[in-house]
Structure 1
Amino acid sequence: MLDDQDRRLLRQLQADPSLTTAALAARAGVSAPVAARRLEKLKAAGILRGVHRVIDWRALGYAVEVSLRITLDKTDPGAFDAFTAAARKVPEVTEIQTFLGRVDVRLSVIARDMAHWQQIYRARILALPHIAEIEALMRIATIKTDPGLPI
């Protein structure tokens, strides 16, 4: 599906998403028109879905991240949809993931400090519908974060 030119463009784009098409082309060893055409082709194929800026929430004063593993009460057929709709409305929830198995949903939640976390947990998390079981894991350190792919 991808040839060498596509891979070179994607590697350079992963390394620095802020590059202009001309700079990206130069680093990938292709002409700017070729780079532009190939990037459009990658977008049309759904491989490139956009360029994003990443905000460092720690730099904004959020020092606590908690991962919540949640098992839902499955006696209500609408439990999953009701839960996820409500969880999306909690501003401190940065990620919602679903799973097959004992754990149904994982939420990533950020807070400024432990007092703020306690407030979020009591007022917003415990108020979410259809929770049967909840387990909180507090992040201590990030060992590796690499959103890039081995292209």
Structure 2
Amino acid sequence: MLDDTDRRILRYYQAAPDGGMAELAEQAGVTGSTLARRLERLREKGVLRGLRGVIHWPALGWEVEVSLRVTLDKTQPRAFDEFIAAAREVPEVLEIQTFLGQTDVRLAVIARDMGHYQQLYRERLLSLPHISDIEALMHVARVKDTEALPL
């Protein structure tokens, strides 16, 4: 699907997505028009899904990060759908992942401080539907944080 030139473009692009196109073309060893065509083709194929601004939320006062591992009551046929729909409505839930295994869902949650987290947990998270078990894992440190692929 990707040739060496595409991989080279993606490698430099993911390292510095906010760099200029002329600089990227030079680093990747292609002309500006070749770069533009290849980037467009990668977008059309769904390899490049767009640019986004990444906000460092601790800089805005969100100091607590918790990972909640949730087991749902699977005797309820719509447990997953109803739980996920309700969890999406909680603004502090940044990510929802589903799994096969003992843990059904993982929620990534942020809060301003422990008091805010305690209130959020008691008032919003514990009231999500179909929870049969929940385990909170308090985030201590992010040792590696990358979305870069080894291209």
Could you say which TM-score interval applies, normalised by the shorter chain? Answer: over 0.9
What SS is found at the alignment partner of 2:59? coil
| Equivalent residue letter for 1:6 | D
What SS is found at the alignment partner of 1:58? helix
What SS is found at the alignment partner of 2:68? strand
Structure 2, unpaired ranges of 5+: none
Structure 1 distance, partners of 2:38, 2:95, is 31
Structure 1, unpaired ranges of 5+: none
Structure 2 distance, partners of 1:16, 1:91, is 30
* Aligned residue pair count: 151
| Equivalent residue letter for 1:115 | G
Question: What is the root-mean-square deviation of aligned Cα atoms in Å?
Answer: 0.8
Structure 2 distance, partners of 1:38, 1:20, is 16
Correspondence list, 1:109-124, <5 A: 109-124=109-124
Please name the residue that 1:70 is paired with: 70
Please name the residue that 1:44 is paired with: 44
Runs of 4+ displaced beyond 6 Å: none
Please name the residue that 1:107 is paired with: 107
Please name the residue that 1:29 is paired with: 29
Structure 2 distance, partners of 1:131, 1:65, is 20
Please name the residue that 2:94 is paired with: 94
Listed one character per residue, the Cα deviations across residues 116-141 of structure 1 (whole Å, up to 9, x for unaligned) are 00010011101100000000000001
With the length of structure 1 as denominator, give the TM-score of the two structures.
0.97
Q: Percent identity?
A: 63
Please name the residue that 2:149 is paired with: 149
With the length of structure 2 as denominator, give the TM-score of the two structures.
0.97
